[in-house]
Structure 1
Amino acid sequence: MSSATTAVALVTNTADRMGQETARRLAAKGQTVILGVRDIQSGQPILDELLQQEQSAELLVLDATQQTSVDAAADNLRSRFGRLDILINNHSLALDKGPLNQAPVEDLIATYEANLFGTFRCIQAFVPLLKLSSNPRVVNISSSLGSVMNMTDKRSPYYEAAQPLYASSKAALNVLTIHLARELKEAGIKVNAVDPGIMDPRLPDGDPESIMETAASAPVRYALIGENGPSGGFFDRLGPIPW
């Protein structure tokens, strides 16, 4: 299928299993999937897999921690496709190792660099291409650990999941999601935060592949929402998540 008749979907960080499973599901639904990777070698296995299944997929060198790499990736997409329909920001670095007051500030900086600043760079760089789409969608991969209500409600299954560096980066991402959804509404760009549920303590034990298949369902669902779908929300596979 030609990209002129299918959605062009960029999934960042497809070197990790979450990104790969999301890419598989989008490709299976007929989208042209752009596999964002830091280097060609790390993305070659998933590209080969999709091409063997006669899916439409390409690699795109994209290091979200480097502005020059993000800008070059946006220029590449513009020249290759002329637009972007779906952006899935898949950045989830967790470096929590112990008490917050003993955490190296370098770990906090690295966590925010990947989870927050990297996502923000991608949004800024790709919004001009999203504005050229007739049905633009942005999904920011977040976490229920970033829900302030989950952090403070003792009844929440996440209450005891103390990963403050990671959680605070995702809480900040949620705030950006709200404001970006408002700002981009007039352009028709729907922006949502989605928790795949990989860290959900309620998940039953199972093989990693099954867990990833379940986890990827929510990002793909909100990447493909229709005109009447939500924007500025926070969701997992079961529905809305409290902020």
Structure 2
Amino acid sequence: MTGDGATRRATALVTGGNQGIGREIVAQLAGRGMTVLLGARDLGRGEEAAAGLRSREADVRAVQLDVTDAKSVAAAARHVDEEFGVLDVLVNNAGILGDVAGQDPCEADLDVIREVFETNVFGVVRVTTAMIPLLLLSSAGRIVNVTSGLGSLTLMGDPAGHFARRPPSAAYVPSKTALNSLTVQYANALRPHGILVNAADPGLCATAFTRGVPGVTRSAADGAAIAVRLATLGDDGPTGGCFGDDGPIPW
């Protein structure tokens, strides 16, 4: 995707872009010629990450963005509007695992559940709502929500499947299921406007998020690839789906 006309770089915003898979999404989108806004809750860390990715060919710029803070999100939207007047790609990557000890469904800590949903679900709504007016000005708007295969009811509900052997979760896993549902709703709402909305499952990758998980061999760059693919779909691409490296993932 090149954006509107040959003289304008397409503009992308990636939340949680200063580390892990988010940072790799930023790098890969910038490598495709986009101007990428690296959203980070801590602007200092965002600036450091952006400086490490920036080059003559890669236009990466940090922006302070805390998806749980309405004022921060509104300020980021104003910045995009004033600086570019349009947004072509939004990647909702920011997410937290939360305190695992408080996620046992039989002894769930409601404060832990609220904290996880505040970032993983409400944060996505907050950012997407703020950016939709700018996405509507693009000729090829794309929204990618970074999810997890753990959010699949089909896979989780198979007692013989791999996911059923994972520790039950009342926070992180349901938050990704909710995000998947939101993806479908946004796709339905924005389909008439030509904006494609999909969920990307990066799979298990070697990041701080999976520290301590045995047998993880894929890199953050590997995980970022599916999000980048969905962010750069052609006009005939799918919308309202969930995809991993090997294709569609069941809801």
* TM-score normalized with structure 1 length: 0.92
**CA-to-partner distance for each residue in 1:109-140, whole Å, 9 max, x for gaps?**
00000000000001100000000001000000
> Is 1:157–2:162 an aligned residue pair?
yes
Equivalent of 1:137, from 118, 142, 150? 142
The question of whether the paired residues in 2 share the 8 Å contact of 1:83 and 1:133 is answered with yes
Write the letter of the residue equivalent to 1:213. Answer: A
| Cα distance in 2 between the residues matched to 1:123 and 1:81 | 17
> Is 1:178–2:181 an aligned residue pair?
no
| Cα distance in 2 between the residues matched to 1:199 and 1:102 | 29
1:234 — aligned with what?
A: 242
Residues 2 and 132 (structure 1 numbering): CA distance in 2 closer, same or farther, change over 3 Å? closer
DSSP-derived class of the 1:46 partner: helix
| Cα distance in 2 between the residues matched to 1:205 and 1:152 | 23
Residues 37 and 155 (structure 1 numbering): CA distance in 2 closer, same or farther, change over 3 Å? same
1:196 — aligned with what?
A: 202
| Cα distance in 1 between the residues matched to 2:172 and 2:179 | 11
Give the Å deviation of 1:198.
Answer: 2.3
DSSP-derived class of the 2:159 partner: coil
List gaps (5 residues or longer) in structure 1: none
List gaps (5 residues or longer) in structure 2: none
The question of whether the paired residues in 1 share the 8 Å contact of 2:27 and 2:53 is answered with yes
2:60 — aligned with what?
A: 57
| Cα distance in 1 between the residues matched to 2:153 and 2:52 | 39
The alignment covers a number of residue pairs equal to 240
| Cα distance in 2 between the residues matched to 1:53 and 1:103 | 50
| Cα distance in 2 between the residues matched to 1:17 and 1:225 | 23
Give the Å deviation of 1:186.
Answer: 1.0
**CA-to-partner distance for each residue in 1:208-234, whole Å, 9 max, x for gaps?**
xx5211101100000000000000001
| Cα distance in 2 between the residues matched to 1:94 and 1:50 | 26
> Is 1:33–2:36 an aligned residue pair?
yes
> Is 1:107–2:115 an aligned residue pair?
no
2:233 — aligned with what?
A: 225
The question of whether the paired residues in 1 share the 8 Å contact of 2:205 and 2:220 is answered with no
The question of whether the paired residues in 1 share the 8 Å contact of 2:94 and 2:119 is answered with yes
Q: Percent identity?
A: 37
The question of whether the paired residues in 1 share the 8 Å contact of 2:149 and 2:249 is answered with yes
Instruction: Give RMSD over aligned pairs.
Output: 2.2
> Is 1:20–2:23 an aligned residue pair?
yes
Give the Å deviation of 1:204.
Answer: 5.0
**CA-to-partner distance for each residue in 1:59-110, whole Å, 9 max, x for gaps?**
1111110111111110110000000000000122112225222231110000
Residues 234 and 2 (structure 1 numbering): CA distance in 2 closer, same or farther, change over 3 Å? closer
> Is 1:116–2:116 an aligned residue pair?
no
> Is 1:212–2:220 an aligned residue pair?
yes
* TM-score normalized with structure 2 length: 0.89
Post-superposition, which runs of at least 4 consecutive aligned residues in structure 1 deviate over 4 A? 1-4
Write the letter of the residue equivalent to 1:150. Answer: L
1:7 — aligned with what?
A: 10
DSSP-derived class of the 2:76 partner: helix
The question of whether the paired residues in 2 share the 8 Å contact of 1:145 and 1:161 is answered with no
Equivalent of 2:72, from 51, 58, 69? 69
